[in-house]
Structure 1
């Protein structure tokens, strides 16, 4: 990819807004201690590499919501339109590379000032394998965030009070496209979102793990099952912990109909039952909230702090094959 006006070793992408982010040794240390894979720092060398720029594609279906997050809003959004990668492969998850980015002026637009978040940090995610060119490939992530958004909005409406009660917000990603094509002539896409500041914690996972300290997040997962008519479970909750709120990122939705419509981390009814087999109601759970009858812990789903079944995805055409592989791996108890 060609150099296009940024400093050596940078790439540019389009991102959503956030609070003023910070990137400190302390944040990364806490993230590492909590076992949050997506924020474990991966050091890179200082070699000079070529640069490329990524911006929002004109007419994209996934347009940027307007305005930064306010206290009355449920999600973080932005008005900035361009950012640059400042550290490639900064960290990684089971099936995605995570790059560190920063909002910058768009060099293709004369006089562009970088927008309201110029200079702030963001996160850029791309799949390690499979198609990175089809927007449909990213739709499971976007769909899960949209479902989580509606659940969290309803949960906040309950106006919980008392020690530990806080408003919950959601870090919402967007899909952006490289400005310049690669060697194949195509422009790869990336999932990008604001970088969270403050204390980053893993509250629970999609396999029944809970940190045992954040009761609101456990109640949110329970509420999600009740609120959706026993059809879905919101879990794998992680994110920033602040004085008066939480900001969650990378949520997982599991569906009771076993269609696994939300990607590789959707463990279906078996995953939901396994989650509730380990769940213990707390002061934020309501007695009338529904849960599965006599849920059983699954021997095929180890209770892990990390996200379970984050398989490398394929293209849209290979989705059926991916589901078959998922079932085969579960049958072999091979994680």
Structure 2
């Protein structure tokens, strides 16, 4: 029912854009309509079996892969905002097995399970492919966000342990690669984690989003994910803010994270937002800090002494 009303809303937006002869708004509304209709078609299909049928001899299709890419960040001058995303072709002309039925889907991506060589992965592709050039741009944006998130998580863990040598904190992001299919489509792949794949990983938890929400369980807020976001802002000298901190907590102070989002300080000269829908720029930073309250870990690292964006400083865009 919610999708139905969302679709009707987009149709009204489309009609308004046509009347106003606003070509950009018309294009965006049409794309949203196609995406929502694709989501509705997915909703009518059966999802893959759970638990995963990794050892089944049926339900798989062979996918031809032109190139398998891996990524890392280089910091030529040691500064955030000028880092370079480096890609390496790990393999060419290979194939993998992908489940026929989708595993899950969200607002923009559909998820399948696949077997790549001897590794079990989840693969994400866009519900509505937008052409090879734009899909490649989005795949690179995803890779960049993962590499930045890994860098921040590693530095955060190190900083906490420098202040608290006895700390058992472990925080990492999952490995994410990109497969360029022979058909021209791109798949972002990740490790399989969570209770559906490994009971000891525990349930999926979302600690904050890319706006002003954070998980508050009857007055209890996990300090580490919130402090990680604040740390990324200070560590990058206000270039980035890592948000959408989510994943699994197998044990106390142990975090396995996935699907990061970042806001880029587009007020600084030469900085542009990361392509896609999740980077809300300086305004996104303002929204986060409007709700953020520094906790014990923020104070341990001295983050509470750093300048933070104030909502009233917003500049109309």
Judge same fold: TM > 0.5, yes or no.
Answer: yes
SS in 1 for 2:61: coil
Using the alignment, how far apart are the partners of 1:172 and 1:249 within structure 2? 9
2:205 to 185, 194, 201: 201
Query: Would you say 1:292 and 2:291 are equivalent positions?
Result: no
Q: Is the 8 A contact 1:207 1:274 kept in 2?
A: yes
Query: How many residue pairs align between the two structures?
Result: 223
Relative to structure 1, is the Cα distance of residues 130 and 253 closer, same or farther in structure 2, using a 3 angstrom cutoff?
same
Q: Is the 8 A contact 2:112 2:122 kept in 1?
A: yes
Unaligned stretches of 5+ in structure 1? 1-39, 66-78, 104-113, 182-186, 301-326, 328-335
1:27 alignment partner in structure 2: none
So what's the TM-score if we normalise by structure 2?
0.61
Query: Would you say 1:188 and 2:185 are equivalent positions?
Result: yes
Using the alignment, how far apart are the partners of 1:297 and 1:214 within structure 2? 29
Aligned residue runs from structure 1 range 221-300, under 5 A: 221-243=229-251, 245-257=254-266, 259-286=272-299, 288-289=302-303, 290-295=306-311
1:173 alignment partner in structure 2: 176
Using the alignment, how far apart are the partners of 2:63 and 2:149 within structure 1? 30
Using the alignment, how far apart are the partners of 1:202 and 1:87 within structure 2? 29
1:43: Cα distance to partner?
3.8
1:27-81 Cα deviation digits (max 9, x unpaired): xxxxxxxxxxxxx9x84389x9883314361xx6x3378xxxxxxxxxxxxx998
SS in 1 for 2:298: coil
Q: Is the 8 A contact 2:289 2:309 kept in 1?
A: no
1:164: Cα distance to partner?
8.8
Alpha-carbon RMSD: 3.4
Higher normalized helix content (fraction of residues): 2
Unaligned stretches of 5+ in structure 2? 1-42, 50-57, 73-89, 195-200
SS in 2 for 1:217: helix
Relative to structure 1, is the Cα distance of residues 127 and 45 closer, same or farther in structure 2, using a 3 angstrom cutoff?
closer
1:52 to 62, 76, 81: 62
Higher normalized strand content (fraction of residues): 2
SS in 2 for 1:176: strand
So what's the TM-score if we normalise by structure 1?
0.58
1:212-264 Cα deviation digits (max 9, x unpaired): 33210000000010001011100101112112521111100101115222421
Relative to structure 1, is the Cα distance of residues 277 and 45 closer, same or farther in structure 2, using a 3 angstrom cutoff?
closer
Q: Is the 8 A contact 2:248 2:255 kept in 1?
A: yes
Larger Rg: 2
Q: Is the 8 A contact 2:285 2:309 kept in 1?
A: no
1:181-222 Cα deviation digits (max 9, x unpaired): 3xxxxx311111111132211111001111133210000000
Higher relative contact order (CA 8 A, sep 6+): 1
